[in-house]
Chains A and B, each alone.
Chain A
Amino acid sequence: MPVFYGTEVVSPLMLGTAQYPSPAIMAEAFRASRAGIATVSLRREGGSGQDFHRLIKDLGIPVLPNTAGCHSVREAVTTAQMARELFETPWIKLEVIRDDDTLCPDVIALVEAARVLSEDGFQVFPYCTEDLSVCGRLLDAGCEVLMPWGAPIGSGRGLNNPYGLRSLRAHFPDVPLVVDAGIGLPSHAAQAMELGYDAVLLNTAVAKAGDPVAMASAMALAIEAGKLAHGANPIEARDMAAPSTPLFGMAVLG
């Protein structure tokens, strides 16, 4: 199972807590998913935060707070500091966004925020692109895990750049890698695991499905299948057919 900053989690599925039809369905979806980590956020206290905090504690799995919505290093750092105190964890899913249409990470600000936070003792999970240079800079900044997007958050498009994700895997064989965002279907999650990724982080695909609990189960099965397949060393794709039934011994009939 994946190990992040020395902590082994019970499953390669990391599941978000937003957008479920109800708290009860969220809790049931988490049970069905057997997720190893729950992602959460911080927002202005409007009366519901205390109940939500209890609900999250009851899930009984490690919490990964995010800096969703932050557009600057300062915002992200302050949010991370508040999250560390509130959730009592050095883990932070670092998001610094520039473009609101794609929610594409601002990788320049991301690297800077990752450096500031790492120096302050945080264990940073950066939401990044699959760019090899950016990922290298994030590791230089102190990150020990990388979380490239599959596709824009909430788009459900799957892995937009399997080639890039495969290159990243090959380039950093020893770094825990997580596909974060863009997953729509269990087959997308399976594909990420087949590429050798250590984990998959998703939210919308489960929470906004017609039956979130069933989709949570489907994601868990797909991730398990993809992980098994990667370990089984899949065959290479080829252009021409290669008969699987032996030709030797075939009766001459024509």
Chain B
Amino acid sequence: MKITLNGEARDLTGPTVQDVLAEIGLGAAKVATALNGAFLPAAARTETTLKDGDALEVVAPMQGG
């Protein structure tokens, strides 16, 4: 499954968003997600299946002003 993860082209197994997070080592991390530009709540990750061409953003708390 070829998706864009945080701006980078990746080939991942998935198929759900939660599977992808586990695959990249963030299965239990405090992160928020957006799929194709729209917010994807944490509760929806296990039932949301990715497909080729999807863009997934995974963000975390960071320094800010």
Chain A residues in the interface with B (C-beta under 8 A): 16-20, 26, 39-45, 48-50, 52-53, 56, 65-66, 68, 74, 78, 81-83, 85-87, 153-154, 181, 203-204
Contacts and interface: CB of A to CB of B under 8 A. Distances in A.
A19 B63 CA distance: 8
Classify the interface of chain A: helix, strand, loop or mixed: mixed
Contacts of A56: 61
Contacts, number: 99
A16 B64 contact: yes
18 contacts: A16-B65, A17-B63, A20-B63, A41-B61, A41-B62, A41-B64, A44-B58, A49-B29, A49-B60, A49-B62, A50-B29, A50-B30, A66-B64, A66-B65, A74-B37, A78-B38, A82-B34, A83-B32
Of listed A26, A74, A86, residue having the most chain B CB within 10 A: A86
Nearest to B43: A85
Contacts of A20: 63
Interface string B1-44: 00000110000000000000000001001111110011101100
A9 B32 CA distance: 27
A45 B29 CA distance: 10
Contact of A81 (B39, B61, B64): B39
B61 A53 contact: yes
A87 B64 CA distance: 13
A52 B27 CA distance: 18
B34 A86 contact: no
B63 A41 contact: yes
A39 B63 CA distance: 8
Given A45-B31, A49-B31, A86 B61 contact: yes
A137 to B, nearest CB: 24
Nearest to A93: B64
Give the residue among B31, B57, B61, B62 with the most A Cβ atoms within 10 A: B61
Given A18-B65, A41-B63, A66-B64, 14 more contacts: A40-B63, A41-B64, A41-B65, A42-B60, A44-B7, A45-B26, A45-B59, A52-B61, A53-B30, A53-B61, A56-B61, A68-B64, A82-B33, A153-B65
Contacts of A74: 37
A78 B37 contact: yes
Nearest to A69: B64
A42 B62 contact: yes
